[in-house]
Structure 1
Amino acid sequence: MFLHSLRRQRLPLALWTPRRLIATKHGVPDPMTGELMASTPDIQPNRVEIIRNTNPATPPPSHTLVFGHTFTDHMLTIPWNAVSGWGTPEIKPYGPFQMEPSATVLHYAQTIFEGMKAYRDEHGKITLFRPDMNMKRMNNSARRIALPTFNGNALLDLIKQLIRIDQHWVPKEPGYSLYVRPTMIGTQKVIGVGPPSEALLFVILSPAGPYYASGFKPVALYGTTEFVRASPGGTGAYKLGVNYAPGVLPQKSAAALGYSQNLWLHGEDHQLTEVGTMNMFVVFGKEDGSTELVTPPLDGMILPGVTRDSVLTLAREHVNGTKRLPNLPENLVVSERTVTMKEVKEAAAAGRLVEMFGAGTAAVISPVDRIGYMGEDVHIPTGEDGMGPVSRPIWTELVGRQWGSIPSEWSVPITE
């Protein structure tokens, strides 16, 4: 009867196949939003199956850790398909996946990821830092490339369970943490561009040391005009795997010229956008005596970083008196606006360029001491320890909240 109805509506032949009928009836991702067009089961933490690693490893000494090279004993996996929705979550031994060579992620880069950290305070309590923002951003990324969305609180519940199982991997030393990498990939076994009908969400954990093990070291940036990181209407505002591989060659080019990272410039007026894989901040001294903290607006090219938002929130709390930060300039102005290299050069020449820094999960704050631009270096002031008068007090407050020495609602407990 249903097939007869379809024929009377003269729908495309593709919709007449039994497989397509099932997918349409039970829900497939909308190609524009990534949302399911019909209801299917969401992630269900109470269904999790736990398979313990019978051959657990011994965490290495913390001082030997290299970022992203060491992984804990367990991982979380949750399959999805368009017919039955999210399947049974599993916490199981860390190990390789078995995947078809035709999986869409291998051909069309249908992959998204997040990066966040778990911290252990001096009393042994383990917390996550603002994980709700990571869940929100991951869903936004999923929508952008037509991967399935999910209940962020449900995934966070499972991530907490995973960390509790591997909690002995969270380093005890100050400055060390456990890096948490949630990832989703399209796994449909079809060579063809379109919303996948199968996907896999997984989470792995990696103990990590401090980004600057021997103290802050300001970095030199190369203002690249040869390559473009993102453009309006593109994918720069989303944490997609496809955004990162194209940055490797520009990074090699910058390193060959003696610079640590690329400063991504956009447009004919060379607008500053991001620093390597971090958000960017510039501090100007204004003629009226005020100090302006500036970062580019979220215009679709800029990734809405959690650290970026944290820096802005702390600065604005200081400005409006909600929480004054010691040693932060009293007459601070916080701006989200376009910044060009012309403005930076003119400020440097006039002695009004106070500092510049990147902000991200890995480094938290990364000070900058020079920019290579159009054949010359623009030099940027740095403090005695590499940080400036704005970045230093914000960094102090931020890491205090992350490691629990400063109580904050941003810290979400995993263990007591």
Structure 2
Amino acid sequence: MFSRSIAHILRKPSAFQNLGQLRFKSTTLSELSAQKVKVNKSNALKPLVPAKDLVFGKTFTDHMITAEWEEGQGWKSPEIRPFENFKILPSAVVFHYALTCFEGLKAYKGKDGKIRLFRPDMNMKRMNNSVSRIALPSFNGDELIKLIGDYLKIDERWIPSERGYSLYLRPTCMGTQETLGVNPSSRALLFVIGCPVGPYYKTGFAAVSLKATTEFVRAWPRGTGSSKIGANYASGILPQQLAAKEGYQQNLWLFGDEHELTEVGTMNLFILMKNEKGEKELVTPPLDGSILPGVTRDSIIELAKEWESETGIKVVEKKMTMPQLRDAIKKDRIVEMFGAGTACIVSPIKCINYEGEDLQIPLDPSNPEEQAGPFTKRVNKTILDIQYGEVEHPWSVVVN
């Protein structure tokens, strides 16, 4: 049983959910249900990989979750089955029109042996927004969380127990109708796979350098930037390669003629700075439809607001341009800067190349050897403490 109620999940659908689900409204359609799950355990379990040898996205557990959907019928009984290949025809729409979306969350095992998920309700809400945006079927998020809980109990041996290690979960939905035609898919497959992963940075924080790209655009308002669909990521691979050739680890995505700041690679962006009055602000771009509503992003905002009376740091969601950031850097008004996401929690930023100039970002003025500033490190530690059950918090959902 879960340690807290999740009945509040998905009560406020987005505009895209309302738009995308018009074709699925029917009282006769079968809903996704964890009670109907069929379990088929593998007869041959794979050997575990030592924690020190784990590479992100390379090793997968013994089982996976699958659930098929068909127009006019709804969701079929979900299955927990051995991890194996799918049999999909080359004419399936997912291969031709990118009808696919996904989520990323982690399962953690604390010192008490309990398995925890971190704010899974937000992942379910965001995934329902994503499927709606590309006209795939929605599902009951509570039920998928229960299915993930059942799956984790079966593959528990794959969840590392060391702090900093976890089981990365990848829920995915894709259109499987076998036809060539740009239309909503009449069939879909929802599945969840898991891979054990270690710390994003094996030696601790490692600040990154960014290439502020003016040649490419990641997303735009009223586009698909706020949804976690596969097509959003394919277009970022070439710019990432070009930035790497110049010695930069990530792109800093800019938008429009004024070069508005949006995201860092596949992460949300945060800037701890002093405004023109000398007041400290934690600035992040607003959710205007082009920014992915990150779970880590929301968590950092909520934590920073809780700390405001102590730190004096005010959270500000506002548009900011790269010329404005450059000016603030040169006037020594930038205190810290980092990206945020599920994979790494926070990724400190030490340099931004913009229009041929390398702009240096402070890390920790009190200790030049450190790769992250005090606020960045506090955010990282606080979220880790919650994820591993070091502190009790409603964001932590116990599975076992």
Scaled by the length of structure 2, what TM-score is found?
0.93
Maintained 8 Å contact 2:103/2:170: yes
Among 13, 20, 27, the alignment partner of 1:33 is 20
RMSD: 1.4
**What CA distance in whole angstroms lies between the structure 2 residues aligned with 1:79 and 1:377?**
50
Secondary structure in structure 2 of the residue aligned to 1:299: coil
Once the two structures are superposed, the pairs formed by residues 80-91 of structure 1 within 5 Å of their partners are: 80-91=69-80
Maintained 8 Å contact 1:230/1:236: yes
> After superposition, what is the alpha-carbon deviation per residue over 1:137-173, rounded to whole angstroms, capped at 9, x for unaligned?
0000011000000100011110110011000100011
Tell me what 2:139 maps to.
Answer: 150
Secondary structure in structure 1 of the residue aligned to 2:185: coil
Maintained 8 Å contact 2:17/2:133: no
Secondary structure in structure 1 of the residue aligned to 2:315: strand
Tell me what 2:240 maps to.
Answer: 251
Secondary structure in structure 2 of the residue aligned to 1:335: strand
Aligned pair 1:234/2:234, yes or no? no
Scaled by the length of structure 1, what TM-score is found?
0.89
Once the two structures are superposed, the pairs formed by residues 86-105 of structure 1 within 5 Å of their partners are: 86-105=75-94
Tell me what 1:291 maps to.
Answer: 280
Aligned pair 1:65/2:50, yes or no? no
Once the two structures are superposed, the pairs formed by residues 251-270 of structure 1 within 5 Å of their partners are: 251-270=240-259
Aligned pair 1:404/2:389, yes or no? yes
- Letter of the structure 2 residue corresponding to residue 38 of structure 1: S
- Letter of the structure 2 residue corresponding to residue 228 of structure 1: V
Superposition deviation, residue 242 in structure 1: 0.6
Q: Given the superposition, is the C-alpha separation of residues 220 and 30 from structure 1 closer, same or farther in structure 2, using an over 3 Å criterion?
A: closer
Q: How many positions carry a matched residue from both structures?
A: 379
Maintained 8 Å contact 1:182/1:201: yes
Aligned pair 1:376/2:357, yes or no? yes
Superposition deviation, residue 30 in structure 1: 9.7
Among 335, 338, 341, the alignment partner of 1:354 is 335
Maintained 8 Å contact 2:349/2:361: yes
Secondary structure in structure 2 of the residue aligned to 1:347: helix
Computing the radius of gyration from Cα coordinates, the structure with the larger value is 1
Ranges in structure 2 where 5+ consecutive residues have no aligned partner:
1-15
Superposition deviation, residue 47 in structure 1: 1.0
Ranges in structure 1 where 5+ consecutive residues have no aligned partner:
1-28, 325-329
Deviates more, 1:398-407 or 1:365-374: 398-407
Tell me what 1:337 maps to.
Answer: 318
**What CA distance in whole angstroms lies between the structure 2 residues aligned with 1:142 and 1:226?**
29
Secondary structure in structure 2 of the residue aligned to 1:390: helix
* Identical amino acids, percent of aligned pairs: 51
**What CA distance in whole angstroms lies between the structure 1 residues aligned with 2:295 and 2:166?**
17
Q: Given the superposition, is the C-alpha separation of residues 371 and 30 from structure 1 closer, same or farther in structure 2, using an over 3 Å criterion?
A: closer
**What CA distance in whole angstroms lies between the structure 2 residues aligned with 1:198 and 1:410?**
34
> After superposition, what is the alpha-carbon deviation per residue over 1:337-384, rounded to whole angstroms, capped at 9, x for unaligned?
001111111111111111110000001000000000001111100024
Tell me what 1:190 maps to.
Answer: 179
Deviates more, 1:406-415 or 1:32-41: 32-41
Maintained 8 Å contact 2:106/2:168: yes
Maintained 8 Å contact 2:38/2:78: yes
Aligned pair 1:414/2:395, yes or no? no
Secondary structure in structure 1 of the residue aligned to 2:206: coil
Superposition deviation, residue 289 in structure 1: 3.5
